[in-house]
Amino acid sequence: MTDMADALELSRWTASSGSNARSRGAVVIASGDHVWRASAEGIGAIDALYRAVDEALVGVLTGHPRLLAYDIHALGEGTDTIGAVAVRIAPPDVGGKRGSGEYAGEARGPNIIAASIEAYVAAINLMLAEAHWSGATEAAGNLRGVAVSAGTAREQRADLDEDKVPQDTTAWFER
């Protein structure tokens, strides 16, 4: 295993979901001097956020992780109890050592959406900690402050400045 000092950190996320609207998620992920941003649509908030993580890290992982299992359990009674989320992933379907193995991530919290995305990133971090993934974040990283083209910026839009993001995130995503 390699050093976890350069582990991915979920800096920010937002999600929007409703009965009459597509679910949308946006993420900002950092590691060392690198930062990745992406947004995506999905079937529900968690799916949209997982797709956004996948899109943000496609250059790091050279593909999308395969979600093998997703489990959520309430650790008490009531709607305000802590939820425990466990995920199991496999690397993108590529050849060699990078295409094999299974990795589990877990997270707990009162917000199951937050716990879900934290568990997913934890599983990806375990995968990236393997020796055969060494250097993947650096090789695909966008250094903080490095200019990104307008087209790329639009594709990766995840400006999550709370002062600029309205309470209704649907309007924010549609701009």
- Residue 8 is predicted with a pLDDT of 92
Residue 54 domain-assigned (yes or no) = yes
End-to-end Cα spacing for the chain: 42
Per-residue pLDDT tens digits for 137-169: 777 665 554 444 445 544 544 444 444 444 455
- Residue 155 is predicted with a pLDDT of 52
Residue 165 domain-assigned (yes or no) = yes
Residue 43 domain-assigned (yes or no) = yes
Domains contained in the chain, number: 1
- 21 lies in which domain range? 4-170
Residue 111 pLDDT exceeds 80? yes
CATH code of the domain containing 92: 3.30.160.270
Per-residue pLDDT tens digits for 62-95: 889 999 999 999 999 998 899 999 999 999 888 7
> Rounded to whole angstroms, how far apart are CA atoms 102 and 95?
15
Residue 98 domain-assigned (yes or no) = yes
What is the pLDDT of the chain when averaged over all its residues?
81
Residue 124 domain-assigned (yes or no) = yes
Residue 175 domain-assigned (yes or no) = no
- Residue 21 is predicted with a pLDDT of 82
The answer to whether the beta carbons of residues 2 and 130 sit under 8 Å apart is yes
Residue 137 domain-assigned (yes or no) = yes
pTM: 0.77
Residue 120 domain-assigned (yes or no) = yes
> Rounded to whole angstroms, how far apart are CA atoms 127 and 109?
23
pLDDT: which is higher, 12 or 169: 12
